Structure 1
Amino acid sequence: MTEVLIKPSKVLVVDDDITARILAQQALTLDGFKVYEATDGLNALERFQEVHPDIVILDIEMPELNGYEVCRQIRQLPFGKRVPILMATGFNDMSSVNRAYDAGATDFVTKPFNWKVLGQRLRYMIRASVVGEELNELKKSERRLANAQRIAKLGNWEWDVTSNELYWSDHLFELLNSKRGKIQPSLTAFFESIPEIDHFKVRYWFNRIVNGKPNAADSIHHRIIVNDDHRIVKHQIEAEFDEDGELVLLSGAVLDVTELRQAQDKILELASYDALTGLHNRSVFSSAVDRAIKRAQKFNHTGAVLFLDLDNFKRINDTFGHGVGDLLLKVVAKRLTKSARANDRNDNGESNSEAHLISRFGGDEFTILIPHVKDASEAKVIADRILDNIGRRVSLAGHELVITPSIGIALFPQDGTEVESLLKNVDAAMYHVKHGGKNSYEMFAHSMNIVSKRRLQIEAHLRHAIDNKELYLVYQPQISLHSGKIIGVEALLRWDSPLLGAVSPVEFIPVAEETGLITPIGEWVLFEACQQAQVWRDEALPPVRMAVNLSVRQFARQNLESVVQSTLLKTGLPVRYLELEITENMLMDDVEGSVDTLHRLKDLGVCLAIDDFGTGYSSLSYLKRFPIDRLKIDRSFITHVTTNTEDASVTQAIIAVAHSLGLSVTAEGVESADQLAFLNENKCEEVQGYYFSKPVSANDIKRLLIVNQGLPDS
C-alpha cells in the first residue's frame, strides 16, 4: 500500500523583530510547520504571493505598513480572501482587538506567545478554515463534497422532503459507529444517537429550521453516543423552501469536533498557567484581582497584593545561561508558593491556602493576591517569609546561587479600586524598594505618587534640556601622587532647570537611562567635554586627560566607536587625551560583547577605565580579558579605609590586583590626609576628591592649571 505523505502546513511569520522571527522559526518548525518569514509589511505582501501560505502570523507594530494595512491588502488578493490571519501585538486592549477584526483578521493574540499552545491554535484555525470553506461548496459538486469528507472527516445527510428520501454519507455511518445496511437512515435513528441531556435542545433547534423560523441558528454543537461514549459534533443544516414557502430540502453536515474541543479546553487551560513555573499567569491574576476588589468593596473588607521582582536576575541569566535562569525561576516559584501559603489559617484553624492566588506576572516578576486580610501586618508576615525563603542559597547545575527579591505591597480597596491603579501603586512600592537598596519590602504610601509625579516632571523637562541649554558640565581634578600635579579631570553632568531648579544627577540620570534620553545627552556630554579639553590645549595650559562616563545605553550601541571618533575629529582633541569610564556592572551584563566593544575603542587609541570598581560582580578571569588602562576604586571603600579593616583590605587587594595586571589605580572620594597617606603607602597612583577640590567650572580648572596646583599641605 502506497503511503500518503501529508505536506506540512505553510506559515508566513511577519515581524520586523528578528528575535521574534527566530523564535517562531524554531518553535513552529519543531511543531511540524513549514515556516516562511517576512521582515516588514511590503515584504509580507511579496512573500504571501510567492508562497501561498496556509496561515499568516502578522505583527501589528511595524514600520511603513503596519499590520492592519497589510491585513487589508492581503484580503484584497485573490488567494488572500480565506487564508486565516492571526494578528499579534504587545498591547492587550479592546481598541487593538477591534481594529484587528475590522482589518480582516481571523483571530487576535497578545505577545509574548505561549509556543506550546500556538501550534495547536494554528492547526485549529487552518482546519476550521478548510472546514468552513468546504462546507460552503457542498451544494456545488459531489467532488467537493468528497474532498470535504476526506479532509475534514465529516459526515453529511440530505432529506428530500417531497419524496421523503433520506441520504447518509459513509462517514456519517462511521460517526454513528454503523454501516450501510446495518441501520436504515432516518431522523428517528439519528435522534436516538443523541443523549437525553442534549435531546430537547437539538429537537427544538431542528424544528425551528424546518418551520422556517427567523433567526434560527444554522449550526449547533451537541453530543452523540458512540459505543457508550459521548462524542461532540458540530451539526450544520441548510434548508431550501419553494416559492410558496414550503420546505423542499434539508442538507446537513456533522463534524466530529471532540478532539478539537478537547484541544480548545487544553488551550484554555494552558492559557491560564505559566508553562515554566506552573503558576497562574498575568491574565488570570488580573481577573482575580478585579473580582477580589469588587468583593472587598461589597463586603467592606481589605485585601492585599504583593508585587515581587528578583534583584539582579538578568546578570545571573546572562552569566550562567537561560537554562540556569529558568531553573532558578522554578525554584523561586516553589519557594514563593511555600512562603505565601504556609501557616495561613482561618478563624477555625482550617487551611486557607486556596485563598491566595500566586502568579508569574512576566519575566522575573511574581504577584500574590490575598483576597482578605485583617490589616497590613498579615501581608508583611508573608513578605518576611518570602524574603527569608527565597534569599536562601540554591545549587543549580553545579552553581551556588543567591537571589533576593524586592517586594511592593498595596492594600485594596484603599490603594486602588481598579486593577490598573492598584497594580500601578504596588509597582511604585516595589520600585521604591529597588532604589532603596533591594532585598526588602515596602507598603505603598500615597507619597510615592509624589515621587512618581516628580519623575514624570523630570522626564518632561529633561526632553528639552539640551535644546534649552539647561545642561552644563563641571570638572573634578585628578592628582598624581607621584608628582602632586593635576594630570586629569573627570567631566560631571549638572542640570539647572528654570522650572524645577537644580536637579541632582541622582534624580535625573536614572530617568534619562529608562527613557532613552541618556543617548543624546551622553553624546552632548562627550562633545562638550572634548571641546573644553581642546580649548585648554589651545590656551597652552598644561595638558590634562579628560575622563567621560559612558551610560549603559551608550556602551551597548553598535556604533559607539564611530561616535567617539567623529567627536574627536569635530573637536580636534587628540585621542590620547580622552579617557572613557565604564562601570564593571555594565561590562558584566554582556561579557563577550563588552570585550569586543572595548577592543574597538582601544583600537582608536582611547584610554579606558573601570569606574566604581569593587561594587560589582566581575572576576579576575574576566578582568584579564578587558583591554583597560585603569581601575577607579569606589568612594564607598575610601570613606572608611582608615577606620574599617575590611574596607582597607578590599582597597589594598584592588591596588594589588590592578598592579599585577599592569593597570594604574585612581581612588575616588579622598577627603582627608589620613586617607591620602594610606593610599600613598599602598602605591595608589592617582586620587580625586574634596580634599583637593570639589567639581568646579571650566574657568576654575583653568586657574588651577595656571598655578599648576599640587598636593595641599598635610
Structure 2
Amino acid sequence: MSTPFSSELSQLLENYQLQAAELSQDIKAVLSELDQKLLAHNSSPTQKSSEAFDELKHAHGAALVHFDKHVIDISDSARKLLLGGERPPTEQSSAPLTLNDLGLSQLDDACKQAQYMHGHHELHIDTRRHDGKPLWLKLELEQAADKSWFLLITDETELKLTQARLKYLSTHDELTGLANKNRFIQRSENALSRRSRDRFYRFAILIINFQPKAEEAERHSLHLNDHFLVEIGKRLHRCLRPQDMAAHLSTDDFAILVDDCATEENLQSYIAELEEALDKPMELDGEIAACSPTIGGVLVDSQYQTAEQILQDADSALIFAKKQNHRFYLFDLQLLNENKHISDVETRLRIALKQEHLELHYQPIVNLTSWRTVHLEALLRWNMSKTHTILPAEFINHANKSSVIHSLGQWVVDTACKQLATWQKQVSPLIGMSINISSRQFSSKQLIKDLESSLTAHPLQPDSLKLELAEISLLQEDNKHIEQLNEIRKLNCELLIDDFGCGFSSMNHLHQLPLSTVKIDRSLIAALNSLEDSNAIVKAIIHLAHNLGLSVIAEGVETKGQLESLLAMGCDMAQGFLFSEAKNSENTAELLHKDWQEHVQKKEDDELDRSPPTILTSWLKRRAS
C-alpha cells in the first residue's frame, strides 16, 4: 500500500543515504587533515596524536574517540552519543575510562584486524547507551604513529529504524497491521512447497468480504471508514492461531491461511469460531454498528501449482456464496468446472481478438420528440463462423471474470470511437455512441488510458461518446469510484447508468454522481401494461430523474403499447426491436437518417385491420397532420 506516510519514509531514507555519502567524504577529509597535523608537529608521537585530536574534536564537532588500552580523550559529540552526556562512574573516579564503559568492547578485535589492514578498518555495530536506548553505529578506526587509535563514529540509528520501517511496510498493510497481499502469497507458496513434500499436510485459504448492512453503511459510511477496517484487522488477529496468517488484500477483502487443516470438518469448526468473533457488533462514532462477513474457502490439495490459483478459486467460492446468499462456501467440483469454462472462454476470446472474429453492431436510440436517431449503442458480436454468431449474454460474464475483459474492452472502445468519428464526418456531427463498460473495466486504471488513447486517435465531438455503467457498478460509493467517474467526465465523455431499476440504487445516490442519463431496465419495460406496479415504478423513475436533471432512455421497447405508455409518462428516448434490431456498420448507416415516426406509423397501419385504434394511433395521426 502506497501512502503519504510510507512515501515520506522513502524520502527520509533517500536523504539519509545522501547524508551518508556526504559524511563519507567528510570522514576522508578529517582523516587526511589528521595525517597532515601529525606530520606538522615536531613533538613526540604521543604528544602529536593528543594535540592533533584535541584540535580536530573542537574544529569539526565530530564524534571522535582517542584510545589505546583505555580512553585517552573523547569529544563532546561522542560523549553525548554514547553516554547521553553523562559521565560513567569510572570516569567520575580516578579510574581511566575504558571502551567497555562506552559500550564499544567490540573494538578490541577490530583493532587487531585493523593492524593487518595498514592501520585502517571500519565496522558496523549495534549497542546500547547507558540509558538503555539502542544505537546503530558506523565505526572507522585509524592508527596513529604512536600506535594509539583514532575512532570516528557515525550514528546510523535513524537510518536503520527507517530501513526497518520500510521493510515492514513492504510486507504489511499499514492501516491494519496485517500482512499485505505480496506477503500472503509468499506464505501460501511456502505452504504449497511443504504440501509437495508432505502428502499428509493440508492447509486452507479463506477470503473474507465485509459488506455492512445497508442501513449501517449509510449511517457510518463503513466502506470509507478506516476505523471499521482497523477493528476488523484486530478481530482477525485475535482469532488466529500462532501458525495461521491473516492479510488485508483490498478495501473490504481479507484473507486467512489456515495452517495444518486436515479435513473439511476441521475447517467448518474453524469458520464457526471465526464468524462468531466477527459477527459481534462494534462501536463506531459513538454508535453500535454491525457487519456480516461472507467467506469463500479452498481446502488445498495436490491440484494447485501456484498461490494465485488458490486465491482465484477462493474468490470464486466467495462470489458464489454471495449469489446464493450463503455465509460460507467451500470451493468444489461445480466451481472447478465453471473456472475451467472461464479459462476456455478467455483463451478463445484472445484468439478471436487476434483473428478479428469480433464485430460491433449498432442499435439506434430514438428521441421521442424529434423521432430521430440521437445516438447508437455499440453491441458486441462474436462470429464463431459465417453462420454462427454468439451474443454477449453467452460469454461476457465469463470474460468479466478473467483478465481478457481489459483487452476486449480496449478493442470495443477503439472500434466504436473509430466508427463514430467516421459517421460524425460523413453524416452528422451530432451523432453519439454509447459503449457498455463492465464493473471490472470500470474499477481498472487501464480504462482511462484506453479512452485517452482512442480519443486521441479518433477525435470526437464533446459528450458524443457515452459510457454505460451497470447500476451494480455504482452501488459502492467510495472515493476511488468517484475519482474514476470524474476522470471520465474530464475526457468529455457522458456517463449513463444502465439497467436502472433492477438493483438497489436510490435517486439520491445517483444525484451525487456525475451522470447525465438513466436507462430503465428492460424487465420493467417488458412488464408495462401487464403489471400495475411496473407502470408506477417506471413513471416514478422518469419523474424523479427529470427532477434531478437527468434524461431517461427506455430499453427493450418491443410493442406499440409499451411506447404508448412511455410517451404518456414523458420518457425522453427509447430503443428496442420496435424501432430496429442491432445491425452491422454497413446496414446502420441508413438508420441514421430515418424518420422513426413514419416507421412506427407504418407498423401501426399494417395492424389496423387486426386491432382496434389505440391512443398511439390517434397521437401519431395528429402529429402527421
Identify the TM-score tier after normalising by the shorter chain. 0.5 to 0.7
2:66 to 133, 139, 157: 157
Residue 277 of structure 1 aligns to a residue whose secondary structure is coil
Superposed CA RMSD: 6.0
Matching of residue 193 in structure 1 with residue 92 in structure 2: no
> Which residue does 1:105 correspond to in 2?
none
Residue 374 of structure 1 aligns to a residue whose secondary structure is coil
> Which residue does 2:6 correspond to in 1?
114
What's the offset of the Cα at 1:388? Answer: 9.1
Contact 1:279 1:333 survives alignment (8 Å): no
Distance 1:548 1:385, change over 3 A: farther
Matching of residue 375 in structure 1 with residue 284 in structure 2: no
Matching of residue 306 in structure 1 with residue 206 in structure 2: yes
CA distance in 2, matches of 1:153, 1:128: 14
> Which residue does 1:281 correspond to in 2?
180
Matching of residue 651 in structure 1 with residue 555 in structure 2: no
Alignment of 1:132-171 (within 5 A): 132-142=24-34, 154-157=63-66, 159=68, 167-171=72-76
> Which residue does 1:426 correspond to in 2?
311
2:248 to 360, 382, 391: 360
Matching of residue 633 in structure 1 with residue 516 in structure 2: no
Contact 1:561 1:600 survives alignment (8 Å): no
Contact 2:363 2:580 survives alignment (8 Å): no
Unaligned runs of 5+ in 2: 38-51, 612-625
> Which residue does 1:590 correspond to in 2?
482
Question: What one-letter code is carried by the residue in structure 1 that aligns with 2:255?
Answer: T
> Which residue does 1:528 correspond to in 2?
419
1:236 to 110, 118, 139: 139
> Which residue does 1:412 correspond to in 2?
300
Distance 1:601 1:446, change over 3 A: closer
> Which residue does 2:620 correspond to in 1?
none
Q: Deviations over 1:423-479 (max 9, x none)?
A: 3431354267559966766545554653563365256336546xx474242536869
Contact 1:235 1:255 survives alignment (8 Å): yes
CA distance in 2, matches of 1:257, 1:595: 44
Residue 141 of structure 1 aligns to a residue whose secondary structure is helix
CA distance in 1, matches of 2:256, 2:361: 46
Unaligned runs of 5+ in 1: 1-19, 28-112, 343-351, 539-543, 570-574, 603-607
> Which residue does 2:41 correspond to in 1?
none
Q: Deviations over 1:600-634 (max 9, x none)?
A: 679xxxxx865323347463585499684x64211
Contact 1:193 1:224 survives alignment (8 Å): no
Contact 2:485 2:514 survives alignment (8 Å): no
What's the offset of the Cα at 1:275? Answer: 2.9
Distance 1:336 1:203, change over 3 A: closer
CA distance in 2, matches of 1:655, 1:531: 33
> Which residue does 1:30 correspond to in 2?
none
1:669 to 556, 564, 580: 556
CA distance in 1, matches of 2:270, 2:470: 35
Distance 1:546 1:181, change over 3 A: closer
CA distance in 2, matches of 1:394, 1:206: 61
CA distance in 1, matches of 2:130, 2:230: 43
> Which residue does 1:331 correspond to in 2?
228
Contact 2:552 2:571 survives alignment (8 Å): yes
Which of 703-712 and 123-132 deviates more?
703-712
Distance 1:302 1:675, change over 3 A: farther
CA distance in 2, matches of 1:657, 1:141: 83
Question: What one-letter code is carried by the residue in structure 2 that aligns with 1:137?
Answer: A
Residue 414 of structure 1 aligns to a residue whose secondary structure is coil
1:221 to 113, 118, 125: 125
Q: Deviations over 1:5-32 (max 9, x none)?
A: xxxxxxxxxxxxxxx9xx8xxx5xxxxx
Residue 306 of structure 1 aligns to a residue whose secondary structure is strand
Contact 1:522 1:554 survives alignment (8 Å): no
CA distance in 2, matches of 1:337, 1:550: 40
Distance 1:682 1:643, change over 3 A: same
User: Please, what TM-score do these two structures have when normalized by structure 2?
Assistant: 0.64
Distance 1:532 1:411, change over 3 A: same
What's the offset of the Cα at 1:141? Answer: 0.9
Residue 226 of structure 1 aligns to a residue whose secondary structure is coil
Distance 1:505 1:399, change over 3 A: farther
Residue 302 of structure 1 aligns to a residue whose secondary structure is coil
Residue 276 of structure 1 aligns to a residue whose secondary structure is coil
What's the offset of the Cα at 1:422? Answer: 1.3
Question: What one-letter code is carried by the residue in structure 2 that aligns with 1:655?
Answer: I
Distance 1:512 1:690, change over 3 A: farther
Contact 2:57 2:64 survives alignment (8 Å): no
Distance 1:528 1:139, change over 3 A: closer
> Which residue does 2:619 correspond to in 1?
none
CA distance in 2, matches of 1:496, 1:621: 39
CA distance in 2, matches of 1:449, 1:259: 50
CA distance in 1, matches of 2:563, 2:98: 98
Q: Percent identity?
A: 16
Q: Which has the larger radius of gyration?
A: 2
Distance 1:378 1:327, change over 3 A: farther
